[in-house]
């Protein structure tokens, strides 16, 4: 029989495996809490850009280093009662004026158009009157699938502190891999 160091599952080997696993869990939790997060798109509001069931990588550091920009695709906790985070596009920033006219989105009087957006941009909530000035500390969001999106048109502006992060990559399904922001 061999020495204790030669046994395949010595106490030292088990301890090293447990330590490595614990370190991996800690690194994973820290990354998920502060750096990146994987999110599943659960709504149809961003079609055709993102389809229901797509998996995206969300950067949590972008907005610690800078501010949201028009066109960013973000994940946020909506200001309505929802168990799931929303995925939408930033349309207007704090201090900007949003107007919806003739099915188009105007920001500060200029048409804002994203090639991925489909459907007319119609008002959804009678409590929001246009033109609407986005208050400080907020953004205006809309889904690219304008006819099937619950967004700022229905619940108003989104507080910046509600943003979880910026969508940077769609990695699943693999055949639709795409980077959004580098």
pLDDT tens for each residue of 70-102: 999 999 998 887 888 999 999 999 999 999 988
Candidates 88, 121, 149, 166; catalytic one: 88
- The span from the CA of 4 to the CA of 152, in Å, is 66
3-state secondary structure of 91: strand
Tokens at residue 130, please? 């246009």
Per annotation, catalytic residue among 10, 28, 44, 45: 45
Our CA angle for 13, 16, 18, nearest 5°, is: 110
- At residue 40's C-alpha, the angle toward residues 38 and 46, to 5°, is 120
Per-residue model confidence (pLDDT) at position 25: 78
pLDDT at 76: 93
Q: Are 149 and 142 in contact (CB under 8 A)?
A: yes
In 3D, which of 98, 96, 78, 97 has the Cα closest to residue 86?
Answer: 78
Average pLDDT rounded to a whole number, residues 7-25: 77
CA distance 99 to 122: 10
pLDDT at 182: 52
The model's pTM is 0.79
Interval 129-133 mean pLDDT: 91
- Is 88 an annotated catalytic residue? yes
Q: Between 46 and 125, name the one with better pLDDT.
A: 46
Q: What angle do CA 111, 117, 121 make, to 5 degrees?
A: 60
């Amino acid at each position: 029989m061999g020495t204790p160091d030669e046994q395949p599952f010595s106490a030292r080997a088990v301890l090293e495996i447990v330590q490595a696993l614990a370190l991996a869990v800690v690194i994973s939790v820290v990354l998920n809490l502060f750096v990146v997060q994987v999110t599943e798109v659960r709504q149809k509001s961003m079609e055709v850009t993102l389809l229901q069931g797509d998996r995206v990588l969300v950067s949590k550091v972008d907005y610690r280093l800078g501010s949201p920009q028009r066109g960013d695709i973000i994940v946020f906790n909506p200001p309505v009662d929802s168990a799931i985070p929303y995925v939408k596009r930033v349309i207007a920033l704090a201090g900007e004026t949003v107007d919806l006219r003739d099915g188009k989105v105007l920001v500060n009087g200029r048409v804002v158009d994203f090639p991925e957006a489909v459907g007319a941009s119609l008002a959804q909530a009678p409590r929001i009157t246009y033109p609407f000035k986005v208050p400080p500390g907020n953004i205006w969001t809309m889904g690219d699938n304008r006819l099937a999106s619950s967004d700022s048109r229905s619940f108003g502006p989104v507080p910046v502190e509600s943003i979880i992060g910026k969508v940077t990559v769609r990695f699943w399904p693999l055949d639709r891999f795409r980077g959004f922001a580098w």
